[in-house]
Amino acid sequence: MSGNAASGSVESAAVVPAAAAAAAASTAALSDRAGPADAPSGIVKPLPAEWFVPHGTNAEMRWDALREADGSAAVGRHVPVERFFVRNHTGTPLIDPEAWRLRLFGSGLRGAPTADRPVEFDLAGLRALSETRISAVIECAGNGRDYFRRQQGDRVPGTPWTLGGIGSAAWCGVRLAEVLRAAGLTGEAVDVLPTGLDADYVVDGVNHGPVRRPLPVAKALDDALLAYEMNGEPLTPDHGAPLRLVVPGWVGIASIKWVGSIEVADHPLHSPWNTDFYRMFGPGYPPGGGEPLTTQVVRSAFELAPGAVLEAGRGHRLHGRSWSGEAAVRRVEVSTDGGRTWRRAALQGGSHADDWARWSIDWRPERPGRYELRARATDRRGNGQPERAVFNREGYLFGAVVAHPVTVV
């Protein structure tokens, strides 16, 4: 009890919901925009329409924004922070990095520190540990969800992402393993539970508490990173400042932003994010639901607007990216005739596990008309992209080949 009260008072000093800050800064702009069709997103950074598709509290990256009008690359391997997609359950909090502390507690640490007497690190303390850099995508489990509806006629609730619920960045921080060991990890630890400092997630009158999802200790010790930098700069508010988790290969919800505390337990932990959300329910799954989601499926996207217009009778270089949660991408094939014939795309700059592979292929459409482009990838473990994704009630992990319409004139 006293622990909750103590951490509550510290948090209220350190955390300001960004929406409140934005309202104070720009009441006029907000009242102009207020209204059911255009409610404030709770996202701090600007969301220009040429870069993002807004979905409530989330913002999807536009794939066509990865190319300039002349076809040159606008975005390299890593998506610039200002163009990176945002997935927020509520709104971006503004956290004072000076007042902020990471608190670790629980039965899986030596001496079993309690929540009101945790092991604490400030940012300087974390930066004093070994600095580690990785390149990894973060991708929402619901990325591609709208294709359940568009291609398969399935009805699924939730954010209607096309394929822009993903981004790759260079992350810098300290391995979660090192922080856990510094905090006194024991051999008995089973699960760790990072908790975000964003507001409680309330839906349909049910308060699910702050966003938090247990992570098995094996993955925590393998390659999870506590990141304080993204693309060489301190994290920005929307992407988890001052500290976020990056869990390579796994569904984005594992990569908890604005981490305030980590419980380390010698027994399995539960939160709505591994019991009710981010599991598969539906006819193809066990009655109680599938296991909590871990690795991502294979997906591919073109750096083109849906319905892009291309000129007939001349050569075009089509660009795209493919990725997999389990292994590096080995092969990408493209069809420009609705899936009848496939050609091998050229991979550029190599392919790495945890990151996307960039590719291109040349196409010279002779006749005007409507075409459907398709891309499908295979990873080094042999995972590929099926014609159809198995339905699940929440529309997670749509990994089937996506038909991309273009018009040739």
Q: How far is the CB of 153 from ligand MTE (least distance, A)?
A: 25
Q: How far is the CB of 144 from Mo ion (least distance, A)?
A: 12
- 94 near ligand MTE (CB under 6 A): no
Q: How far is the CB of 160 from ligand MTE (least distance, A)?
A: 15
In the bound state with ligand MTE, the residue whose beta carbon lies nearer, of 100 and 371, is 100
CA atoms of 281 and 391, how far apart (whole Å): 9
In sequence order, which ranges of 89-215 are alpha helices (DSSP H)? 123-127, 146-152, 176-182
The residues pairing with 167 across neighbouring beta strands, listed in sequence order, are 138
| Cβ pair 374, 157 in contact under 8 A | no
CA atoms of 125 and 335, how far apart (whole Å): 52
Backbone angles phi, psi at 183, to 5 degrees: -85, -5
| Cβ pair 338, 290 in contact under 8 A | no
CB under 5 to 8 A by kind: which of Mo ion, ligand MTE, none does 196 bind? ligand MTE
Q: Which part of the chain contacts ligand MTE (CB under 6 A), choosing from 83-91, 108-116, 151-159, 370-378?
A: 83-91
Residue 25 three-state SS: helix
Selected from 44, 138, 224, 264, the binder of ligand MTE by CB under 6 A is: 138
Backbone angles phi, psi at 369, to 5 degrees: 150, -175
Q: How far is the CB of 161 from Mo ion (least distance, A)?
A: 9
Q: What is the dihedral of CA 13, 236, 275, 193, to 10 degrees?
A: -60
- Site residues (CB under 6 A) for ligand MTE, limited to 366-395: none
- 């301190």: which residue's tokens? 234
- 């997935």: which residue's tokens? 87
The residues pairing with 259 across neighbouring beta strands, listed in sequence order, are 196
| Cβ pair 344, 307 in contact under 8 A | no
In the bound state with Mo ion, the residue whose beta carbon lies nearer, of 106 and 196, is 196
In the bound state with ligand MTE, the residue whose beta carbon lies nearer, of 87 and 145, is 87
C-beta atoms surrounding 343 within 10 Å: 12
Q: Which two tokens stand for residue 407?
A: 């018009």
Q: How far is the CB of 108 from Mo ion (least distance, A)?
A: 26
CA atoms of 291 and 83, how far apart (whole Å): 33
In the bound state with Mo ion, the residue whose beta carbon lies nearer, of 167 and 252, is 252
- 189 near ligand MTE (CB under 6 A): no
- 196 near ligand MTE (CB under 6 A): yes
- 198 near ligand MTE (CB under 6 A): yes
The residues pairing with 250 across neighbouring beta strands, listed in sequence order, are 295
- Site residues (CB under 6 A) for ligand MTE, limited to 200-239: 211, 239
In the bound state with ligand MTE, the residue whose beta carbon lies nearer, of 240 and 320, is 240
In the bound state with ligand MTE, the residue whose beta carbon lies nearer, of 109 and 140, is 140
| Cα dihedral sign, 362-150-287-142 | positive
Q: Which part of the chain contacts ligand MTE (CB under 6 A), choosing from 34-42, 45-53, 87-95, 114-122?
A: 87-95
**Strand spans (E) along 235-328:** 244-246, 259-265, 299-302, 308-310, 316-323
Q: Which part of the chain contacts ligand MTE (CB under 6 A), choosing from 27-35, 69-77, 256-264, 294-302?
A: 256-264
Q: How far is the CB of 210 from Mo ion (least distance, A)?
A: 16
Q: Which part of the chain contacts ligand MTE (CB under 6 A), choosing from 21-29, 86-94, 97-105, 289-297?
A: 86-94
CA atoms of 18 and 90, how far apart (whole Å): 10
Selected from 256, 264, 353, 361, the binder of ligand MTE by CB under 6 A is: 256
Where do contacts with Mo ion occur on this chain (CB under 5 A)? 87, 140, 252-253
The residues pairing with 22 across neighbouring beta strands, listed in sequence order, are none
- 83 near ligand MTE (CB under 6 A): no
- 257 near ligand MTE (CB under 6 A): yes
CA atoms of 250 and 95, how far apart (whole Å): 26
Q: Which part of the chain contacts ligand MTE (CB under 6 A), choosing from 30-38, 82-90, 145-153, 183-191?
A: 82-90
Q: Which residue is nearest to Mo ion (CB)?
A: 140
Cis bond before residue 194 (omega within 30° of 0): no
Selected from 51, 63, 85, 391, the binder of ligand MTE by CB under 6 A is: 85
User: Interface with ligand MTE by CB under 6 A: which residues?
Assistant: 84-89, 138, 140, 196, 198, 211, 239, 252-253, 255-258
